[in-house]
A and B are shown apart, each in its own frame.
Chain A
Amino acid sequence: RKEVEQDPGPFNVPEGATVAFNCTYSNSASQSFFWYRQDCRKEPKLLMSVYSSGNEDGRFTAQLNRASQYISLLIRDSKLSDSATYLCVVNSDNFNKFYFGSGTKLNVKP
């Protein structure tokens, strides 16, 4: 079983739409959770960390559900520039080791 699982998509949405991705993780001892963004042929970059209480950064909201072992990312008012692959990242019980999901592709269309 994979440590981190994501729906690969693609999610094709119009500009202005709200879109949500989920990601499930298998290790209940995981402590740190993140969403990274990866543009085509570029390296991943941190989008936001995910805290137990949930957190918001502008149009982006991340939530953690420990009981069901998933994290989510909500994007409101989608922009063309949001088109990218979104990677879910979870640390292992070795705090220096991180597992990446295979990514969810988002296409925002005019």
Chain B
Amino acid sequence: DVKVTQSSRYLVKRTGEKVFLECVQDMDHENMFWYRQDPGLGLRLIYFSYDVKMKEKGDIPEGYSVSREKKERFSLILESASTNQTSMYLCASRNPSGRDEQYFGPGTRLTVT
């Protein structure tokens, strides 16, 4: 069974803080993704990574950066958190040679006050 874990289920941070969200997958998948999910807007792609040290911007990368130093770990960084980054953050992984299924972590609900 594929397992994707995220470092926190709930997080509360103050405006201006630097925030790290960690995601780890145990299936040796090349691709990893960070999404945010907001009511009425669905999941929107922030960044994705083809493989170690490779990344590509998604549709809403502003205010975020990512790091993929090891294949199993994909980190999302909010350089200076703002209230409009309050959201549910979902990490996913995928084997591009497989059936295209994305496996999601349980999500991190981030509140920025």
Contact = CB atoms under 8 A, between A and B. Distances in A.
A98 B56 CA distance: 13
Given A87-B42, A98-B45, A102-B42, A46 B101 contact: yes
Contact of A96 (B43, B48, B99): B48
Contacts of A43: 90, 104-107
B99 A97 contact: no
B65 interface: no
B100 interface: yes
B50 A102 contact: no
B40 A34 contact: no
Interface residues of B, number: 24
Given A43-B90, A43-B107, A98 B102 contact: yes
A87 B31 CA distance: 21
Interface residues of A, number: 21
Contact of B99 (A49, A91, A98, A103): A49
A45 B3 CA distance: 12
Given A101-B42, A102-B42, A103-B42, A96 B50 contact: yes
B30 to A, nearest CB: 9
A8 B39 CA distance: 10
17 contacts: A8-B40, A32-B100, A42-B106, A43-B90, A43-B105, A43-B106, A43-B107, A49-B99, A49-B101, A95-B96, A96-B94, A96-B96, A98-B33, A100-B35, A101-B42, A102-B42, A103-B42
Per CB-CB distance, the 8 closest pairs between chain A and chain B, nearest first, are A102-B42, A43-B104, A100-B43, A46-B101, A100-B42, A32-B100, A44-B104, A43-B106
Interface of A: 4, 8, 32, 34, 42-46, 49, 87, 91, 95-103
